[in-house]
Amino acid sequence: MQERKLVAVDMDGTFLNDAMDYDRPRFAKLHEQMVNAGVRFVVASGNQYFQLRSFFTQYPDTIYLSENGALIRDDEQVYFKAAYDRDTALAVIDVLESYPAVSWTACGYESAYVLKTAGADYITDVNKYYHRLQLIDNPGDINDEILKFSTHCPASETADYVAEYARRLQGLAEPTSSGHGDIDIIQPGMNKAKGLKELARVLGVRQADVIAFGNGGNDIEMLQYAGDGVAVANADPDVLKAADHVAPSNNDSGVLAYVEQLVGAVTD
């Protein structure tokens, strides 16, 4: 059976409000309507699958496009997975280790990994986003497939670090920023758009029937790929410019409001 539409939502600053939650009763009603209308719900985020899943445990049909598209799965199956080879992963770590002001997390298939010597505040923050996290003595302790890296630098220097990473990691990896000092180091060509395109192919959904929502720089390719790319009102200026439409802000449940209208159109 082909899905009639895919709705893909970024989480932080898009689907989630500033309290890191969403209107759960409203979504429960909408989810039932989406199922009846043949609309598949996809969570598209740079975050870890295990963390994303914690928001939707009562909805086993949810698909998680996690780690910026490097891992796509639901509770039952893996649709797509792309990992660095080990030598490349270690080469990326060598570059990241050369910047004293940078903290980094290696995001693996089984777990995420942070050096024990990382600052306590950084480790506490990482724990919020990586529900499976291991502290390691050195990078050689990692025995896992690495899907991407998450890094943090001084917020005011984000653009400088993006440029520096792009220069030093050329051919190995690519930086993408979600703002405020947070920069993901992804595999070349790997982003939410590529993952969403692969998922649509597997599920037999036309590009025109993909609706994507975002607010940050790592959402732009996904919004441009989708048949309908929607920015929430609080999105970065570049994201608003790239979008086909603008929904109310994350704190006004803009995604839910937009999808409610969509489902009404589908079921008419």
Between CA 126 and CA 122 the distance in angstroms is 6
Residue 231: count of CB within 10 angstroms of its CB: 29
| Tens digits of residue pLDDT in 172-201 | 999 988 778 999 999 999 999 999 999 999
Q: What is the DSSP secondary-structure string of 74-127? A: -SS-EEEE----HHHHHHHHHHHHT-TT-EEEEEESS-EEEETTS-HHHHHHHH
Indicate whether 134 and 77 sit together in one domain: no
| Tens digits of residue pLDDT in 9-35 | 999 999 999 999 999 999 999 999 999
The token duo for 15 is 């689907």
The pLDDT of residue 266: 65
Query: What residues act catalytically?
Result: 10
Among 169, 186, 203, which residue terminates a domain? 186
Indicate whether 127 and 50 sit together in one domain: no
Among 186, 202, 218, which residue terminates a domain? 186
pLDDT at position 268 over 60: no
Indicate whether 195 and 74 sit together in one domain: yes
Indicate whether 197 and 234 sit together in one domain: yes
Indicate whether 113 and 236 sit together in one domain: no
Q: What is the pTM of this model?
A: 0.92
Coil/strand/helix, residue 43: strand
CATH number for the domain spanning 130: value is: 3.30.1240.10
Surface-to-core class of residue 268, CB atoms within 10 Å of its CB (0-12 exposed, 13-18 middle, 19+ buried): exposed
Indicate whether 19 and 43 sit together in one domain: yes
Contact 225, 193 (CB under 8 A): yes
- Residue % of the chain over a pLDDT of 90: 93
Between CA 188 and CA 179 the distance in angstroms is 20
Among 126, 158, 186, which residue terminates a domain? 186
For residue 132, the enclosing domain spans: 86-186
Indicate whether 214 and 175 sit together in one domain: no
The pLDDT of residue 184: 93
The token duo for 250 is 């994350």
Number of domains in the chain: 2
Indicate whether 71 and 199 sit together in one domain: yes
CATH number for the domain spanning 197: value is: 3.40.50.1000
Q: What is the arithmetic mean of pLDDT over 250-265? A: 94
